[in-house]
Chains A and B, each alone.
Chain A
Amino acid sequence: MQGITKRFPGVVANSDIHLTVRKGTVHALVGENGAGKSTLMKILYGMQKPDEGTIAVDGQEVVFGSPADAIGRGIGMVHQHFMLADNLTVLENVVLGSEKLYGIGGGARKKIKELSDRYGLGVRPDVLVEDLGVADRQRVEILKVLFRGARILILDEPTAVLVPQEVDALFGNLRELKSEGLSVIFISHKLGEVLSVADDITVIRRGTTVGTAIPSETTPRQLAEMMVGSELPTPETAESTVTDRAVVEVRNLTVYATGGASLGEVAAPVASATTVAGSTTAGSVLTDTSPTIEGAKRVLDDVTFTIHAGEVMGIAGVEGNGQTELIEALIGLKNADSGDIVFEGKDITSQPTRKRRESGIAYIPEDRHRHGLLLEAPLWENRILGHVTERPNAKGFWLDPKGAQEDTRRIVEAYDVRTPGIDVTAASLSGGNQQKLIVGREMSHDPKFLIAAHPTRGVDVGAQAAIWDHIRAARREGLAVLLISADLDELIGLSDTLRVIYDGRLVADADPATITPEELGSAMTGAASGHLEHADETADDAAAEDEDR
Chain B
Amino acid sequence: MKKFDKERMLIAVAGPVIALVLAIALTSVVLLASDRNPFEPYRLMLQQLSYSDVQVLIVNQASLYYIAAIAVALGFRMNLFNIGVDGQYRLAAVMTAVVGANVNLPAPLQVVLLLLVAMCTGAFWAGIAGVLKVTRGVSEVVATIMLNAIATSVIGYVTLANVWGVQVGDNMTTGVMHKSGWIPGINLGSDVGEIYGLVFLAILLGIGYWIVLNRTRFGFDLRATGASETAAAASGVDARRMILVSMLISGAVAGLAGLPLLLGDTHTYSLSFPAGLGFTAIGIALLGRNNPGGIALAALLWAFLEKASPALDFATPTPYEKEIATIMEGLIVFAVVISYEAVRQWGLRRQQSRVGAELAAEAAKKNSESKGVTA
Q: Which residues of A are in contact with B by a Cβ distance under 8 Å?
A: 8-11, 13, 275-280, 331-333, 352-358, 363, 365, 370-377, 381, 384-389, 394, 397-399, 401, 418-425, 427-429
B349 touches A9 (CB 8 A): yes
Closest residue to A399 on the B side, CB-wise? Answer: B215
Q: Are A388 and B235 in contact (CB under 8 A)?
A: yes
A374 and B233 alpha carbons, distance in the complex (Å): 12
Q: For the complex, is B134 an interface residue (Cβ under 8 Å from A)? A: yes
Nearest A residue to B236 via CB reads A354
Cβ 8 A contact of A424, one of B4, B237, B242, B243 = B4
In the assembled complex, B355 has its CB within 8 A of some CB on chain A: yes
Q: List 17 A-B contacts (CB under 8 A).
A: A9-B355, A275-B229, A275-B233, A277-B242, A278-B137, A333-B234, A353-B237, A354-B238, A357-B235, A371-B233, A385-B232, A419-B355, A420-B4, A421-B1, A424-B4, A427-B351, A428-B354
Query: Considering the chains assembled together, what is the distance between the CA atoms of A355 and B232 in angstroms?
Result: 14
With a cutoff of 8 Å between Cβ atoms, the chain B residues found around residue A279 in the complex are 137
Asked if B171 lies at the interface with its beta carbon under 8 angstroms from chain A, I say no
Structural contact, A280 and B220, CB atoms closer than 8 A: no
The 8 Å CB contact of B230, one of A10, A275, A424, A427, is A275
Contacts of B216 in A (CB 8 A): 397-399
A280 to B362 Cα, complex, angstroms: 50
List the B side residues contacting A353 at CB < 8 Å. Answer: 233-238
B358 & A376 in contact (Cβ 8 Å cutoff): no
Instruction: Determine whether B228 belongs to the interface, using a CB cutoff of 8 Å to chain A.
Output: yes
With most chain A CB atoms within 10 A of its CB, the pick from B217, B236, B237, B352 is B236
From residue B111, how far is it (CB to closest CB) to chain A in Å? 28
**Cβ of B231 < 8 Å from any Cβ of A?**
yes
Contact indicator A278/B217 (Cβ below 8 Å) = no
Q: Which 6 A-B pairs have the closest CB atoms?
A: A354-B236, A277-B239, A9-B353, A9-B352, A386-B235, A371-B234
Least CB distance, A387 to chain B, in whole angstroms:
8
Chain B residue numbers with a CB within 8 Å of A9 are: 349, 352-353, 355-356
**What is the CA–CA distance of A364 and B1 in the complex, to the nearest angstrom?**
28
Q: Is the interface of B mostly helix, strand, loop or mixed?
A: helix
CA distance A258 to B355 in the complex (A): 41
Contact for A375 among B223, B228, B242, CB less than 8 A: B228
Whether the Cβ atoms of B224 and A399 lie closer than 8 Å is no
Which of A11, A13, A352 contacts B238, CB < 8 Å? A352
Whether A425 pairs with B351 at a CB distance below 8 angstroms is yes
Given A388-B217, A421-B4, A427-B352, check contact A277 B227 (CB 8 Å). Answer: no
Please encode chain B, from 310 to 330, with 1 for each CB lying within 8 Å of some chain A CB and 0 for all others: 000000000000000000000
Q: Does B36 contact A (CB under 8 A)?
A: no
Q: How far is the CA of A388 from the CA of B146 in the complex (A)?
A: 36
Q: For the complex, what is the distance from the CA of A385 to the CA of B225, rounded to whole Å? A: 11
B220 touches which of A372, A384, A422 (Cβ 8 Å): A384
Q: Which residues of A contact B238 (CB under 8 A)?
A: 352-354
Q: How many angstroms from the CA of A49 to the CA of B219 in the assembled complex?
A: 42
- How many angstroms from the CA of A389 to the CA of B133 in the assembled complex? 26
Judge whether B215 and A365 touch: CB under 8 Å: no
Q: A428 to B221, Cβ gap below 8 A?
A: no
State whether the Cβ of B136 lies closer than 8 Å to any Cβ in chain A. yes
* B359 CB within 8 Å of chain A: yes
Apart from A280-B135, A354-B237, A365-B234, 18 more pairs, CB < 8 Å: A275-B229, A275-B234, A278-B137, A333-B233, A353-B237, A353-B238, A354-B236, A356-B236, A357-B236, A363-B234, A386-B236, A397-B216, A418-B359, A420-B362, A423-B4, A427-B351, A428-B348, A429-B355
